[in-house]
Homo-oligomer: A and B are copies of this chain.
Amino acid sequence: MTETTPAGATGIRHWVLTLVCTDRPGIVHAVSGAIVDAGGNITESQQFASLDTGTFFMRLQVEAATERGAFEAKLAPITERYGMVWALDVVGRPLRTLVLVSKAGHCLNDLLFRQRAGQLGVELPLVLSNHPELSGLAEFYGVPFESHAVVSAAQKKEFEQRILDAVDEHDIELVVLARYMQVLSPELCERLQGRIINIHHSFLPGFKGANPYRQAHARGVKLIGATAHFVTSDLDEGPIIEQNVVRVDHSRTPAELVAIGQDEESRTLTQAVKWFAEHRVLLDGARTIIFR
C-alpha cells in the first residue's frame, strides 16, 4: 500500500492495523508489545474471537512517530509467530475505488456527493458503465466515465477484460457495483474476491429474481430494504456487510416501493463502502466482522 497522507511536521502518523489469525492466548499482549516497542499509542482497538471458525480478528489504530518500515520490522516477529494475515495502512488514506454502474444514478450520486464532501475515504479514478446515461453526473464531479455497450457475449467478455485492465491500471483496491445490472462471470468474481461489493436491489434473504418489489407488493410486506454484500460466484449469496429496512404500507404501489428501496440501496451501499475503506470489514467464512 502506498502512503499518501504526509506525516506532518511532528512526524506523528496515524496507522490502522488489521490482524487475523487462529485464536490462542497471548495475541493481544504480543501485538501491544510490538506497538509499545515501536513507540506507538493505541487510540482505537477492537477485537473478536469467532466461536464458529476459531479465528481471532483485531483492528487497531495507532499513533506513532515510526516510519512504515520500522513499524513493520517490529510487527514481523509477531505476525510470523501467530501466522497472521495482516495489513497496515495510514488512517484516512483514500482507497482507490472503481465504480460500475448501469442506468440508475441514485447510488452513484450518493457516492460522489459524499466523496466530495469528505465523508467517504475513497478516490474515484474511473466509473465504468454499460450505458452512457450517467456520464453527466460523473463529469460534474470530475470523475472520468467510460461506457461500452454490453449486449453480446463477446462484448461482455471485452467489458470484463476492461474492468480487469482498469483495476491494474489504477491500482484499484475496491470495486463497487453501484446498481450495475449485468451478472459478472464466476471468473471475474473470483479474481476480485474480497474486494468487490454489490448492493442488492432488494432484501437478502428474501425475494429473489427479476422483480423483487413486485413480489414484495404482492405479498404485502410491511418492511422493505437493501443489502450490501461481497460478491462471490454464488450470485447474491456473498457475505453480508450491511442491511437496512424502512416501513411501508398497503397504499404503496410497486413504483413507490422502488423509489423507497432506492434510498435504502444508496445509503446501505455508501455505508458498506465507507466501512471497507476504513478497514473495518473482515471476513469470517461466510460472515463479516464489522468493527464499527
> Which positions in A face B, CB cutoff 8 Å?
24-26, 28-29, 32-33, 35-36, 39-52, 105-106, 109, 113, 117, 119, 136, 140, 203, 205-207, 217-223, 225, 239-245, 249-251, 253, 259, 263, 267, 284, 286-290, 292
Known: A205-B205, A219-B286, A221-B240. Contact between A251 and B29, CB under 8 A?
Answer: no
> Could you say which of B40, B119, B206, B219 contacts A287, with CB atoms under 8 Å apart?
B219
So how many copies of this chain end up in the complex? Answer: 4
A253, chain B: closest CB distance, angstroms: 7
Within the complex, what minimum Cβ distance (angstroms) separates A186 from chain B?
20
Report whether B250 and A287 are in contact in the complex, using a CB–CB cutoff of 8 Å. yes
Residues of B within 8 A of A207 (CB): 205
Q: Would you list 15 pairs from A and B whose C-beta atoms are within 8 A, ordered by A residue?
A: A25-B40, A25-B41, A28-B35, A29-B35, A33-B33, A43-B49, A45-B45, A52-B217, A105-B117, A106-B117, A217-B287, A221-B243, A249-B292, A250-B284, A250-B290
User: Quick one: which of A44, A206, A222, A284 has the most chain B CB within 10 A?
Assistant: A222
A118 to chain B minimum Cβ distance, whole angstroms, is 9
Chain B residues, CB < 8 A from A225: 223
A287 to chain B, nearest CB (A): 3
User: In this complex, what residue of B is CB-closest to A267?
Assistant: B263
Q: Is the CB of A288 within 8 A of B250?
A: yes
Contact B250 A289 (CB under 8 A): yes
- Which residues of the other chain, B, contact A206 by a CB distance below 8 angstroms? 205-206
Given A49-B43, A287-B219, also A29-B32 (CB < 8 A) = yes
Instruction: Determine which of B36, B39, B220, B292 lies in contact with A240 in the assembled complex, contact meaning CB atoms within 8 Å.
Output: B220
Residues of B within 8 A of A245 (CB): 223, 245
Q: How far is the CA of A205 from the CA of B216 in the complex (A)?
A: 9
Report B-chain residues with C-beta under 8 Å of the C-beta of A220: 239-240, 284, 286-288
Which of A39, A40, A243, A286 counts the most chain B CB atoms within 10 A?
A243
